[in-house]
Amino acid sequence: MENKVKVKILGREYTLGTDNTPEYTQNLAAELDRKMNEMLAEAGSLSGIDVAILCALDATDDSRKAAANADNIRLQLGEYVAAANRAQASAESSKREITALKRRIEELEDRLSQKTPF
C-alpha cells in the first residue's frame, strides 16, 4: 500500500509515494536534510545540487559497502553451517562406532564368561 508522505529537505517540501511507513520516510528525509545542511555549512560555495550529488555519492558508497558486508556475512554463515553439518556427521559416526564397540565388548565378555577356567 503506497503512502503519500510530505517531507522537507533544504527548505523545499516534497510529497513522496512510498511503501514505507510515514515515520520511516520522514526520518530518512530528516537525516538527509541534516546531512545536506551540514555540507552547506561546511562549504558555503556548494549549491543545493552539489550537495545532493555528494550525498548521493555517499549513499551509493554506503550501499555498496553494506552489500559487500552482507555478502561476507552470508559467506561466513554458509561456512558455519557447513562446519556444523560436518561436526554433526562426525558426532553421529562416533555414536555409531561407540554403539558397535559396546556390542563387541558385550560379545567378548559373553565369550569370556562361557569359558571354563583351567
Looking at residue 105, its amino acid is I
Q: Please, what sign has the CA dihedral across residues 82, 87, 91, 94?
A: positive
Model pTM? 0.63
Tens digits of residue pLDDT in 48-91: 899 999 999 999 999 999 999 999 999 999 999 999 999 999 99
Domain ranges of the chain: 1-46, 47-118
- Helix count (H) and strand count (E) of the chain? 2, 2
Is the pLDDT reported for residue 117 higher than 90? no
Q: What is the mean pLDDT of residues 4-20?
A: 95
- pLDDT recorded at residue 72: 97
